[in-house]
Structure formats: C-alpha cells, structure tokens
Amino acid sequence: MTITIIGSGKVGASAALNCGLRELDDILLLDIVEGLPQGEAMDINHQLSERGIDCNVYGSNNYQEMEGSEIVVLVAGVGRKPGMTRMDLLKINAGIVSDVAEQVREHAPNSKLVVVTNPLDPMTYVALKKTQFDRTQVIGMGGMLDLSRYKSFISEALNVSRGSVSAMVIGEHGENMLPLFRFSSISGIPLREFLSQQQSQELLDKTKNIAAKVISNKGATTHAPGNAIATIVEAILRDKRSVIPVSAFLEGEFGASNLCIGVPAVIGHGGLERIIELTLNEDEKLLFTKGVSDVQQAIQSIGIA
C-alpha cells in the first residue's frame, strides 16, 4: 500500500477521497474504532467506482498493514470543538501522536510522514522525535491549509479568478500564523497594487479567525484539510517539487532551531527537499518570532526533547 492514512474521522476520510480523486494510488485507512475505516473505505470506493477511478481504498484496524507504505498521513487525535484553540488539545494529542509515531517507526520506517493532528507544529515535532526520522521525512500540513483560506479571501475581495492568486502563509498554525501580504500577487502583480494596508490587514485577520468560525458553524473543518493533505501527498508521489508552506524542523533557518513551524519548502519525492528562507521585515519577524516562542513553550510543556 503506497498511502496510509491513520485516523478515519472526517478529515482522514476526506483526505482518502481527495487522494483517490487525484488517482494517486491505493490507500489504506487505519483506525482503532472497529468498522469505521472499513465503512469509510466502502463508501469512498463506491464514489471512485462510478467515476471510473481504479484506485482502491482499504480499511483496517491493524497497524501492521501499513508496512511498505511510501507515505503515512497522521490524522489521529482529538479534534477542536467550538470555543477551543488548537493549543487546548496539546497534552491529550501529544500522547496519541507519540503512540502512533512509534507504530509508524516500526512498520513504515522508510515512509514520508505527513502530520495533520493539532496543535500542528508541536505535534509535528513530537512525531519527528518519536519516529527518529530524518527531518526530510516529516512534514506538517498546517501552512497549506492556511494558504487555501488566504487565497480564497483574496479572490473574494478582488473578484478575480482563484487561479490567478499566488500567496504564502508561514509561521505557527494557530493564533500567530503569518499570511505574507508582501509576497502575494495576482498573476505576478503585487497584491499591494490592489489593496490598501487596512484592507490587507482585514484579510489577514479573516484568515487567522476563519477556522474557528467554520468549527462553530458545522463542528469541524473537513474539505479544505483533506485537499491540503492530498496536495502534499501528490507533490511527493509525483515528485512535483512544489513550493508549499509546511511545518518543518528548523536548524537555524529564519533564526530558529529545534522546533517545527511553518515555512516555505520544496516538496518532492525526497519529502522536505529544501527550505526557502525569506527576508522578513520587522513586523513580520515580530509575529514569526512570537509563533516560535509559543511553539517552544508548548514543546517544553509536554517534556519531549
């Protein structure tokens, strides 16, 4: 099985469907809940069948079945509830991610691991340390999801095609995310040519707050995360060398070390192939550094070094 997704709730199932619709490869859905991954697999296969797609989805409760997987997606954990921040999930999900990461190390030691569980940046760090993988093998999904939201708001504000929007979001996947107005454009035309400083700030604020609104309205974010996961998986399997914002382990880049946080990176068959460092202005540095500090504090609080 090339792709294994651990966690068969709403996001895991959406990721499996999105990977299937892109015809990436066969997919294994794993979950500790008896019947859940099997049921989701059947449902997804029925949709793929009608569309003439020959990728198969399988469901299992046995971690051993992930052996040989090229990519493992870790979605397992408790999801955000209305009124909760991502950091509210820290300690309970650290335990879950630790246990699952040890299973990945045992059964899929050569895989690329895509972490989705919140709080995303600390959980990516936990997964990296517990698997003892090289940093090129472990990627956190958060920035790709934040980017999809930012691009949507830019398109709405300017009434232009979504396909013409190029943007970037870095930093903590949480309260200190950093949508980069200066590095965003419409078909190569800088965004500052279209929006005032006040308008740009409004877009930044909407991007930071929208996840909580979606969760308040429908209970969970599902479709955008599933698509973001599939985008990263596709970049690896098809060696696209896509420039994607992901949570990565830093070794001095952006002035930070020994933590995972969102940065632009080249994603291809080698996983995290290269981090792209940007020259941030003072305001951007301030927010990025605040995110670094919050992630460091979270890592220290769960005692994983």
Catalytic residues: 173
Amino acid identity, residue 125? Y
Q: Is 138 helix (H, G, I), strand (E, B) or coil?
A: strand
Cα 246 from Cα 151, distance rounded (Å): 16
Which residues share a beta bridge with 112? 71
Backbone angles phi, psi at 97, to 5 degrees: -65, -40
Which among 152, 118, 169 is positioned nearest to 278, based on CA atoms?
Answer: 169
Q: What per-residue string of b and e applies to 165-182 under the rule 16 or more CB within 10 Å gives b?
A: bebbbbbbbbebbbbbbb
Place of tokens 């996947």: 173
Cα 195 from Cα 181, distance rounded (Å): 10
Residues recorded for the chain: 305
Contact 120, 85 (CB under 8 A): no
Please, what sign has the CA dihedral across residues 150, 215, 15, 110?
Answer: positive
Q: CB neighbours (10 Å) of residue 259?
A: 22
Contact 295, 121 (CB under 8 A): yes
Amino acid identity, residue 173? H
Chain CA centroid to CA 122, Å: 13
Structure tokens at 272: 């995290």
